[in-house]
Amino acid sequence: MKKIKDAAAEFLANKRIAVTGVSRSPKDHGANVVIKRLADRGYEVFAVNPNADEIDGHECFPDLGAIPGGVDAVVIATRPETAEQTMRQCADLGIDHVWMHRGPGPGSVSKEAAEFGRAHGIAVIDGGCPCMFNPTADFGHKVMRGMLTLSGNVPREV
């Protein structure tokens, strides 16, 4: 097991990151907040949404395999029931860092997806948000991290 802070630092050391579940109705949607924050912090980001060509200025790709040159890491921000399919695609593509987004609600965390990913050598963070950790954090997300760690939505170790 690894402390969440160390796992987050390893994840955020990757510079080409895909975000699944980016919404065409972005108002405060978790995936849209994450992709914007990563882009603002200098990451090369890729939106994944099979139902859109472009969202918030980001070209959309139907799946991870369609991203030219691939990616180093993936934020899963879809419904939990689709997380395992995405995790399987990550394993097939050799992507070895995956973060399943989770704020105050159920988020995108799937126990089956996490188990599958770990069994296939993927470093999985199953909860919380990349915006809660440096270098992408802001004050509000840091406060949320503290509260959601107490509730269990942000794991202490992964």
Q: Is residue 90 part of a domain?
A: no
Q: Is residue 88 part of a domain?
A: no
pLDDT for the residue numbered 28: 64
Q: What is the CATH number of the domain that holds 21?
A: 3.40.50.720
- Tokens, residue 152: 């269990």
Residue range of the domain that includes 114: 4-78+95-151
Q: Where are the alpha helices (DSSP H) in the chain?
A: 4-12, 30-40, 80-93, 111-119, 139-151
Q: Is residue 120 part of a domain?
A: yes
Convert the pLDDT of each residue in 66-105 to its tens digit.
999 999 999 999 999 999 999 999 999 999 999 999 988 8
Which comes out higher in pLDDT, residue 1 or 72? 72
Distance CA 148, CA 156 (A): 10
Give yes or no for residue 27 having a pLDDT over 90: no
Nearest-10 crossing angle of helices 111-119, 80-93: 10
Give yes or no for residue 26 having a pLDDT over 70: no
- The total of structural domains in the chain comes to 1
Q: Is residue 8 part of a domain?
A: yes
Q: Is residue 12 part of a domain?
A: yes
